């Protein structure tokens, strides 16, 4: 699959890179530091979309020959955002709070084309089984969840044994709603 413009993925996430590669996109990864602070009173559905747009705005020097793709993902339990854990104890608390409950994963995306910014979100409901302390600690010790919103990756051990059902896109939970990105990029795609 070719694009009529150069695609830049502005994310260090190995999962986002994996999804784009698997779907056939040719792209380059360029990341620029961006503040991920947000107003704590902001409605949780707006947070990842605003953060994705802030990331895209760091590429103002890229002209219309480029498409800049940015994303941000939040995990939401009881209308509160659960961020990335700072240590193993916090990761344990996060996973224990998700155990035997349903939460939302909201991924916001922004695509910059010259001076035009298009942003959108996708929401998936994730159902967790009840997890034992041993399962949670095994996951933390073996799957390094510190760089993941909510302290888990749906594609890892915890998703395999602890998530019996999702309502929405698996890839949104992984961090990139590829079905919506494909639609947004369709005007620039050449299928050969």
Residue recorded with tokens 């590429």 = 59
CA distance 109 to 176: 8
Nearest to 66 by CA among 9, 5, 10: 5
> Would residue 72 show up in a list of annotated catalytic residues for this protein?
yes
Are 26 and 67 in contact by the 8 Å Cβ rule? The answer is: no
Determine which one of 39, 63, 65, 72 is catalytic.
Answer: 72
Are 85 and 151 in contact by the 8 Å Cβ rule? The answer is: yes
| 3-state DSSP assignment of residue 41 | coil
Close Cβ partners of 111 (under 8 Å, ≥ 6 residues apart):
56, 67, 68, 69, 70, 117, 118, 119, 181, 184, 185
CA distance 8 to 61: 13
Close Cβ partners of 170 (under 8 Å, ≥ 6 residues apart):
124, 154
Nearest to 5 by CA among 184, 163, 146: 184
Residues annotated as part of the active site: 72
């Amino acid at each position: 699959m070719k694009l009529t413009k150069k695609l830049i993925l502005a994310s260090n996430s190995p999962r986002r890179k994996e999804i784009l590669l698997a779907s056939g996109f040719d792209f380059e990864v360029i990341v620029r530091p961006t503040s991920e602070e947000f107003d704590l009173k902001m409605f949780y559905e707006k947070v990842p979309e605003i953060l994705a747009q802030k990331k895209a705005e760091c590429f103002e020097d890229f002209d219309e020959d480029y498409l800049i793709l940015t994303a941000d993902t939040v995990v939401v339990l009881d209308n509160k955002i659960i961020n990335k854990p700072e240590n193993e104890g916090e990761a344990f608390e996060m996973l224990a709070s998700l155990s035997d409950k349903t939460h939302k994963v909201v991924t916001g995306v922004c695509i910059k084309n010259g001076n035009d910014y298009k942003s959108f979100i996708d929401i998936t409901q994730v159902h967790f089984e009840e997890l034992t302390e041993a399962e949670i600690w095994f996951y933390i010790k073996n799957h390094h969840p510190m760089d993941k919103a909510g302290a888990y990756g749906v594609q890892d051990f915890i998703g395999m044994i602890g998530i019996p059902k999702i309502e929405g896109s698996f890839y949104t939970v992984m961090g990139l709603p590829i079905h919506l990105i494909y639609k947004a990029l369709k005007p620039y795609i050449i299928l050969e």
